[in-house]
Amino acid sequence: MVWEKEKIVGSCLIGGATFAVGASFLSLFLKGELPLGLGLGGPRLVSPWKCFRRRKPVRVYMDGCFDMMHYGHCNALRQARALGDQLVVGVVSDEEIIANKGPPVTPLHERMIMVKAVKWVDEVIPDAPYAITEEFMKRLFDEYQIDYIIHGDDPCVLPDGTDAYALAKKAGRYKQIKRTEGVSSTDIVGRMLLCVRSNSQSHSSLQRQFSHGHNSPRFEDGASSAGTRVSHFLPTSRRIVQFSNGKGPGPDARIIYIDGAFDLFHAGHVEILRRARELGDFLLVGIHNDLTVSGKRGAQHPIMNLHERSLSVLACRYVDEVIIGAPWEVSKDTITTFNIWKVVHGTVAESDDFQKEEDNPYAVPKSMGIFEVLESPLDISTSTIIKRIVGNHEAYQKRNLKKEASEKKYYEQKSFVTGD
């Protein structure tokens, strides 16, 4: 026979006996051309294919509004991805958000950019429904080959009081992950609403407490008058490791450096990071500390503290490494230490310091001929996001007040959930 003349390339354990499989035999079998009647091990044939076929990847689905996307969203996606081999994410449409929660701060196309940029996401479905309907669930199972539908341990209740994931639970295709503590889109909007309500020193001070996660006696009951909780984000080394790539640059890698506050991490940030990464082999991102950002932009900034901002940037697929608390000025020592090949900056920025003749933080890389200004793909900045809140603050305040009851109820009934 042909396979007796070929070199043996593998073996299968069938019925306790070792069967040598030649290259031609294996090729015929994989093509489905193996002659009928060929079998070993007595009357019961165990298919050799079981030894070679690849396991079908487990595909999991998670949906959300992903409005004002933050590290909490990213951590949820990371946990969801860990429950399978491929993560498909549904992004709820603007119309569905308005009907169920109120106006979104970021439109669908910006939210799509954000979700696609998360390094644990494999596929994205736009205009996903807010609730899992029979029709959409069938589409997930049949068209997208979804095995499980994932959501956090916090309840997702529709306006009529029903569970948005009731059908998935009934079908036995639902899995739960742990909610990330210390942040929510409601909380972030609430932090900005504090700035809108008053420009007094007391509110500036209160804003700093929100940004740094300090407790305020006025909000110890878990909710504020704006319908938001104080941030109780507690950074841990484990969380940073979970978000990190864990790999350094190669010996001849062209290392690109870009720095900034990256406050309220948004689509504009993502797109300039994508552009920067395309220039080299390794993207190093410097994130300025809270004191630096506050000194340059005012007492009410940053909205998100240093560790919150660092996690948001680390979750981006275009970023290889971050410097947590990077210096404002890019020094020769920084360039040498990290073997930086090129320093870049986007045209859309909160300040024009990169264009100044004096006191320019990029004076050293400019003098070395390694500084480049990149055209920002999107005209969006942190101020853009804040202006959206300010321009429609009454609607967002109303939305936050609606959320206050469910947030408070969740924390009152909260119990320990394993895994994160």
Label residue 12 by pLDDT band (50, 70, 90).
Answer: very low
Angle at 219 between CA 216 and CA 222, to 5 degrees: 125
Q: Rg for the chain (alpha carbons), in Å? A: 26
Pairing of strands 17-22, 8-14: antiparallel
Q: What is the pLDDT of residues 71-106, one digit of tens each?
A: 999 999 999 999 999 999 999 999 999 988 888 999
362, 300, 355, 351: which is closest to 326 by C-alpha?
362
Distances (CA, A) of 15 to 36, 44, 278, 290, 301: 20, 9, 53, 66, 69
Q: Which helix (H) or strand (E) holds 270?
A: helix 267-277
DSSP string, 396-416: HHHHHHHHHHHHHHHHHH---
Mean pLDDT to the nearest integer, 244-259: 95
The residues, any chain, with a CB within 8 Å of residue 197's CB and separated by 6 or more, are 203, 226
Indicate the pLDDT class of residue 128, thresholds 50, 70 and 90: very high
**Alpha carbon distance, N-terminus to C-terminus of the chain:** 56
User: Which SS3 state, helix, strand or coil, does residue 136 take?
Assistant: helix
Cβ atoms within 10 Å, residue 242: 17
pTM, two decimals, is 0.76
Strand order in the sheet with 340-346: 321-326, 282-288, 255-260, 340-346, 371-374
Q: What tokens appear for 141 in the block?
A: 């199972």
Kindly state the tokens that stand for 358: 């004096």
What interhelical angle do 290-297 and 201-212 show, nearest 10? Answer: 150
Instruction: Report the pLDDT value the prediction gives residue 399, as an integer from 0 to 100.
Output: 58
Most confident among 109-123, 196-210, 293-307 (mean pLDDT): 109-123
pLDDT exceeds 80 at position 182: no
Over range 139-151, report the average pLDDT: 97
Tokens linked to 5: 């003349």
Residue 155 confidence class, pLDDT cut points 50, 70, 90: confident
Calculate the alpha carbon distances from 243 to 32, 72, 173 in Å. Answer: 44, 12, 27
Greater confidence, 398 or 149? 149
Assess whether pLDDT exceeds 50 at residue 67. Answer: yes
At 354 the three-state DSSP class reads helix
Distance CA 19, CA 30 (A): 17
- pLDDT for 21: 41
User: Hey, what are 167's tokens?
Assistant: 């059908």
Asked if the model's pLDDT at residue 404 lies above 90, the reply is no
Sign, Cα dihedral of 197, 199, 201, 206: positive
Token pair for 244: 């990190």
